[in-house]
Homo-oligomer: A and B are copies of this chain.
Amino acid sequence: MICLKKIRVGFFKCGNIGASPLCELLLDELARREDVEIRTVTTGSKMRVEDVEEALPKIFEFNPDLLILISPNPSISGPARARELVSNRGLMGIVISDRPGKRIKDEIEKQGLGYIIIMGDPLIGARGEFLDPTEMAIFNSNIIKVLAITGVYRIVCYEIDRVIHALKAGIRPTLPRLVIDTETIRDNSDLKNPYAKAKAMAAYELTKTVAAINQRACFIEKERAKYIPLVACSHEIAQVAAKLAEEAREIEKYSDTLVRRPHSKDGKPRIKSKLMSQPSLDEETYQKWLGAS
């Protein structure tokens, strides 16, 4: 069933959200997968139309079988141009973005693209009196921890892997149309302890609160005395969210029920829970992928 051809997966990132920095690494965390070839092109934190138009073609030249577009707010001009170009080219594409993306999901669908909207991937507190490279990195560290532990990354990874495996099997994949909200965490969690799950959900709710506050702080409040405390406040919440998520994961460690899903060399899903045990093929997931795609 495994095709010999490697699936080529391209990532194009313009601007940054919590899902961006590690996204392509999620697919091949052990750097040993033989069924995929991964390439990424990014424009740094900039997301203007000209950045997109200059940089996006480089990822096209790589001939991806699947192209992942990751950016904040996909409705603004740069990311919108990226969607348009990918759609026009008829490429199999998935948009990964944050809350504002939800408003244009029908538009994305009409463009023939898939989407994964991460409601809890928050805007950073981008105020020049507050945000410097160090603060930016710490914020990303906290959000990464939340998105990892709550299972958001796992869901993203699952969807991309599902498409990859369909492509490998020669099946036309259904592209993901997914809005990841707290309910998604609740209904798709690998956390076995119900309080761990509640804490993970809480962490995710907190990142949504961060997003709302930063929206206010970055776009509404005009006075320094008003917006600085707000961005400082939102980043404190991000820190607390990371701690809460960590606590959720600790609970699973305490009962040795932490689920791990390391990729196999051939990319098939594997699963394990007891730390000292070996992962085994996750046949159920694998069949679902082939069936559902």
Question: Distance (Å) between the CB of A216 and the closest chain B CB?
Answer: 9
Q: Is A42 an interface residue (CB 8 A)?
A: yes
Query: Quick one: which of A95-142 are within 8 Å of B by CB?
Result: 126, 128-138, 140-142
Closest to A47 in B: B31
Question: Distance (Å) between the CB of A188 and the closest chain B CB?
Answer: 12
Asked whether, in the complex, the Cβ of B205 is within 8 Å of the Cβ of A29, the reply is no
Assembly CA distance A128 to B260 (angstroms): 10
Assembly CA distance A22 to B232 (angstroms): 21
Asked whether, in the complex, the Cβ of A236 is within 8 Å of the Cβ of B202, the reply is yes
Contact with B along A223-260 (1 / 0, CB 8 A): 01110111011111101101110100101011110101
Q: Is A83 an interface residue (CB 8 A)?
A: no
Assembly CA distance A135 to B206 (angstroms): 21
Of the listed residues A26, A46, A126, A195, the one surrounded by the most CB atoms of chain B closer than 10 A to its CB is: A195
Q: Is A290 an interface residue (CB 8 A)?
A: no
Question: Distance (Å) between the CB of A74 and the closest chain B CB?
Answer: 16
Copies of this polypeptide in the complex: 6
- Which chain B residues lie closer than 8 Å to A42 at the CB level? 24, 39-40, 42
- Pairs across A and B, CB under 8 Å, 15 listed: A21-B21, A22-B136, A24-B45, A25-B137, A41-B41, A128-B262, A129-B272, A194-B274, A195-B256, A195-B258, A206-B209, A208-B209, A209-B209, A240-B240, A251-B253
Asked whether, in the complex, the Cβ of B25 is within 8 Å of the Cβ of A276, the reply is no
Question: Distance (Å) between the CB of A127 and the closest chain B CB?
Answer: 8
Question: Distance (Å) between the CB of A204 and the closest chain B CB?
Answer: 9
Assembly CA distance A260 to B243 (angstroms): 23
Segment of A84-92, A148-156, A162-170, A172-180 engaged in the interface with chain B: A148-156
Asked whether, in the complex, the Cβ of B41 is within 8 Å of the Cβ of A28, the reply is no
Asked whether, in the complex, the Cβ of A126 is within 8 Å of the Cβ of B30, the reply is yes
Closest to A26 in B: B133
Asked whether, in the complex, the Cβ of A136 is within 8 Å of the Cβ of B29, the reply is yes
Contact with B along A10-53 (1 / 0, CB 8 A): 00000110000110111111111000011111111111000000
Q: With A236-B199, A276-B194 known to touch, is A44 a contact of B38 (CB < 8 Å)?
A: yes
Assembly CA distance A257 to B232 (angstroms): 14
Q: With A40-B42, A237-B206 known to touch, is A229 a contact of B253 (CB < 8 Å)?
A: no
